[in-house]
Amino acid sequence: MAAEPPYLELLESVDSFPHIDISKTPYIEDESSSFYQLLLPNDARCHGYIHPSVVHKLAWTASFQVSHSIPRTVQLLDDSDGKDTAAACSRAFYEVIEKAVDSKIYPFLKTMQWENYRIVGAKYPTVQLLRSAARLFGICSRGAHMTAYVRTNDGIKIWVGRRAAHLFTYPGKLDTTVAGGVRAEESPFECIVHEAAEEASIPADFVRANAKACGAITYVAKSSTAYGDDSSLMTPVILYNYDIELPEHIVPRPQDDEVEDFYLWDLEQVKQAMVNRAFKTNCAAVMMDFFIRHGIITDENEKDYLEILTRLHRKLPVPTSPSEA
Amino acid sequence: MAAEPPYLELLESVDSFPHIDISKTPYIEDESSSFYQLLLPNDARCHGYIHPSVVHKLAWTASFQVSHSIPRTVQLLDDSDGKDTAAACSRAFYEVIEKAVDSKIYPFLKTMQWENYRIVGAKYPTVQLLRSAARLFGICSRGAHMTAYVRTNDGIKIWVGRRAAHLFTYPGKLDTTVAGGVRAEESPFECIVHEAAEEASIPADFVRANAKACGAITYVAKSSTAYGDDSSLMTPVILYNYDIELPEHIVPRPQDDEVEDFYLWDLEQVKQAMVNRAFKTNCAAVMMDFFIRHGIITDENEKDYLEILTRLHRKLPVPTSPSEA
């Protein structure tokens, strides 16, 4: 039998940003590391926390008003002349990001996918910006993960994917059966439906009929320098979770070039892979949530059960609903 | 079709203590309402927050050292002479609580059940005190709830209980199928097994084989004056959640005198009851967690989805694991 994975330790490497109240802690260590609040037009709430090194590196346009006095802010102005505020905001982000791409100050802006993320909880929900730039602005990232499992006579088995060796992030690591970033214009469920077809050849109709929304995990990551950052950025993350029970005749098969292979593993094999740190870090957290919902991790067998459970649902430092605006 | 329940509003009446960092906010409004930290022997962590009115009303024995300077503390001393610290702690609590019962300063101390709660996360896990007194010391309360459901051709149906009219708390309100406070000496699962038999006549063997642990909700309640308090106490709460699918031939039936009746309701009926505020407040929160895990509340149909989800797993202001000690 495999050793029990060090769940809390694995989670700490995902939910890696300090548990401080960043809205009330203007200084992390000293003034030079105080974050800037990202403010959108006609909305007093802070939608992101921008690291000072980023504020200094980006070439802000006249659409943004940067204030260096405490509380430091980057205020996006309303350039719409009373017309389409959301479109004007998206355009303003696009201009700043385009300059950053052209000047090659952040290598990851080039190499990641050209998809857009929305700003979760914004008063104007269609405001969007380049997915790979989200972390620069400290806004929330949205992903969707679906865990496919099979009930067998030997207990539950889980379909685990292996990421392709050529990927920019976490090459060769183990992954949730189906996962992807949720694009600005789609819902988490629509994301899972198309990713299941593209990544794992699971028919869209079957996913629509059988995938079950079962919550989300939330955490705040400190971005690693492996991406070319020269500083610790703060990234709030939401991962929407779906479960799907597969009959034996539906077998996930790699379709695009992102997944190398799929394995149908029993719990011992999955746990051993967690012990070996073979999973992409946030996929290990998604697996923990699955384990908790399916009675595999319990208060009786895991001393840090409650700490893990509450930390998998960390209160994010940015608004998640427009209704508060 | 029933209107959608105001989930966030219902949750706010359960998770009713302000979202402040009580460990770093010594004053709620002014010095007179600053809480006292409950400290156990040989452990620097705070295990409860005691309201000043309680500190003044209770007759502290020599086992407790009360400090009125900031940070205000109630330090339990180690009276064990190096023998059984946990037993000495439990005895010290017993003495103070017994005096409070005798002097009738808190009516609820008499009328509630004579069971003990453990102090969750204590270095000495067998430290325990009277269940109904837990709120006076601001320690964590532990409950276990099991939702029984039936899959029918018309969709999922849920077994809802109605509390007896003579109960001291929430008479006549709707309740989870099976629920109870977790006694000091038992695990949440053992609690559910005996409560299922006592309250709902569901055979213990069937529960052991089929109940599935699926997480917990955590919140912090401000205790209501309905219980005879003259002040706003802070009560952190953990409710361990279990699901059980019942076949048609197993029908919950009232057994003890706590439950008046059971109803097998479809989702529309359950939602309507939530709209009508017919549930015991924290049972509505347990139902929300069930709805989220079963894809009934989703990000697509509930604008406050993430706020509800993170708030159902609030980080508690007291330690939940002895491993941090």
Choose the final residue of a domain: A108, A137, A166: A137
Q: In this structure, is residue A128 part of a structural domain?
A: yes
Taking CA–CA distances from B289, the nearest residue in chain A reads: A215
Closest in A213, A315, A316 to B295, CB measured: A213
CA distance A226 to A170: 10
DSSP assignments along A257-297, one per residue = SSEEEEEEEEHHHHHHHHHTT-B-HHHHHHHHHHHHHTTSS
Q: Does B68 touch chain A (CB under 8 A)?
A: no
Closest in A218, A300, A311 to B306, CB measured: A218
CA-to-CA separations, B49 to A167, B64, B95, B136, B214, in angstroms, rounded? 50, 15, 19, 9, 29
The alpha carbon of residue B9 is apart from the nearest alpha carbon of chain A, in Å, by: 13
Measure CA of the first residue to CA of the last residue in chain B; give whole Å.
51
CA B312 to chain centre: 13
Which pair of structure tokens corresponds to residue B230?
A: 């003259």
Residue B148: enclosing H or E segment and its boundaries? Answer: strand B141-152
Q: A108 lies in which domain range?
A: 31-137
Which pair of structure tokens corresponds to residue B182?
A: 């977790």
How many C-beta atoms lie closer than 10 Å to residue A81's C-beta? 8
Cβ distance of B306 and A189 shorter than 8 Å: no
Q: Using a CB-CB distance cutoff of 8 angstroms, which residues of chain B are in contact with residue A314?
A: 310, 315
CA-to-CA separations, A301 to A176, B143, B151, in angstroms, rounded? 24, 18, 30
Mean pLDDT score of chain A: 91
Q: Are A195 and A178 in contact (CB under 8 A)?
A: yes
Q: Does A293 touch chain B (CB under 8 A)?
A: yes
Q: In this structure, is residue A85 part of a structural domain?
A: yes
- Which domain CATH number covers A41? 3.30.750.160
Looking at the structure, do residues A153 and A52 belong to the same domain, yes or no? no
Q: Are B281 and B177 in contact (CB under 8 A)?
A: no
Looking at the structure, do residues A84 and A160 belong to the same domain, yes or no? no
pLDDT tens for A5-39 read 999 999 999 999 988 877 766 544 454 468 899 99
Cβ distance of A315 and B315 shorter than 8 Å: yes
Q: Using a CB-CB distance cutoff of 8 angstroms, which residues of chain A are in contact with residue B23?
A: none
Q: In the 8-state DSSP scheme, what is residue B296?
A: S
Looking at the structure, do residues B147 and B65 belong to the same domain, yes or no? no
Looking at the structure, do residues B112 and B161 belong to the same domain, yes or no? no
Looking at the structure, do residues B291 and B183 belong to the same domain, yes or no? yes
Q: Are A136 and A106 in contact (CB under 8 A)?
A: yes
Of A243, A144, A129, A122, residue with least CA distance to A188: A144
Looking at the structure, do residues B129 and B146 belong to the same domain, yes or no? no
Which pair of structure tokens corresponds to residue B257?
A: 């005198």
Q: In this structure, is residue A124 part of a structural domain?
A: yes
Hunting for tokens 């940015």 — which residue is that? A318
Of B206, B183, B200, residue with least CA distance to B258: B200
Question: Domain count of chain B?
Answer: 2
Choose the final residue of a domain: B72, B102, B137: B137
Cβ distance of A323 and B303 shorter than 8 Å: yes
Looking at the structure, do residues B108 and B223 belong to the same domain, yes or no? no
Read off the pLDDT of each residue in A184-201 and give the average, rounded to a whole number. Answer: 96
Q: Are B266 and B154 in contact (CB under 8 A)?
A: yes
- Which domain CATH number covers B178? 3.90.79.10
What pLDDT sits at residue A225? Answer: 43
Closest in B215, B293, B303 to A321, CB measured: B303
Looking at the structure, do residues A55 and A197 belong to the same domain, yes or no? no
> Which of A294, A299, A307 to probe the B interface (max B CBs under 10 A)?
A299
A309 contacts: CB under 8 Å, gap ≥ 6 = A292, B215, B216, B218, B313
Low-confidence ranges of chain B (pLDDT < 50): 27-29, 31, 225-227
pLDDT tens for A86-142 read 999 999 999 999 999 998 888 788 655 678 999 999 999 899 999 989 989 999 999
Choose the final residue of a domain: A112, A137, A162: A137
Q: Is residue A1 predicted with pLDDT exceeding 70?
A: no
What pLDDT sits at residue B110? Answer: 65
Who wins on pLDDT, A168 or A153?
A153
CA distance B314 to B219: 5
pLDDT bracket for residue A233 (50, 70, 90): confident
pLDDT tens for A252-305 read 999 888 899 999 999 999 999 999 999 999 999 999 999 999 999 999 999 999
Q: In this structure, is residue A325 part of a structural domain?
A: no
Q: Using a CB-CB distance cutoff of 8 angstroms, which residues of chain B are in contact with residue A9?
A: none
Q: Does A323 touch chain B (CB under 8 A)?
A: yes
Q: Does B298 touch chain A (CB under 8 A)?
A: yes
Question: Considering just the CA atoms, what is the radius of gyration of chain A in Å?
Answer: 20
Restricting to A residues 136-195, those with a Cβ less than 8 Å away from any Cβ of B are 187-189
How many C-beta atoms lie closer than 10 Å to residue B310's C-beta? 21
Cβ distance of B321 and A307 shorter than 8 Å: yes
What pLDDT sits at residue B226? Answer: 45
Of the listed ranges A230-239, A245-254, B31-40, the one predicted with least confidence:
B31-40
A96 contacts: CB under 8 Å, gap ≥ 6 = A58, A59, A60, A61, A64
Of the listed ranges A154-158, A203-207, A276-280, B224-228, the one predicted with least confidence:
B224-228
The alpha carbon of residue B293 is apart from the nearest alpha carbon of chain A, in Å, by: 4
Restricting to A residues 20-49, those with a Cβ less than 8 Å away from any Cβ of B are 21
Q: Is residue A241 predicted with pLDDT exceeding 80?
A: yes
The alpha carbon of residue A289 is apart from the nearest alpha carbon of chain B, in Å, by: 9
Cβ distance of B212 and A315 shorter than 8 Å: no
Closest in A189, A298, A310 to B218, CB measured: A310
* Complex ipTM: 0.94
Q: Using a CB-CB distance cutoff of 8 angstroms, which residues of chain A are in contact with residue B305?
A: 216, 320-321
Looking at the structure, do residues B97 and B209 belong to the same domain, yes or no? no
Looking at the structure, do residues A100 and A177 belong to the same domain, yes or no? no
Looking at the structure, do residues B95 and B164 belong to the same domain, yes or no? no
Who wins on pLDDT, A231 or A198?
A198
Q: In this structure, is residue A324 part of a structural domain?
A: no
Q: Does B99 touch chain A (CB under 8 A)?
A: no
Q: In this structure, is residue B288 part of a structural domain?
A: yes
Closest in B21, B299, B316 to A187, CB measured: B299
The alpha carbon of residue B284 is apart from the nearest alpha carbon of chain A, in Å, by: 17
CA distance B69 to A210: 60
What pLDDT sits at residue A302? Answer: 96
CA B81 to chain centre: 34
Cβ–Cβ pairs < 8 A, chains A and B: 107
CA distance A182 to A193: 11
Q: In this structure, is residue A21 part of a structural domain?
A: no
Q: In this structure, is residue B26 part of a structural domain?
A: no
Phi (first) and psi of residue A65, to 5 degrees: -110, 115
Looking at the structure, do residues B130 and B216 belong to the same domain, yes or no? no
Half-sphere exposure (CA, 13 Å, Cβ side) for A96? 26
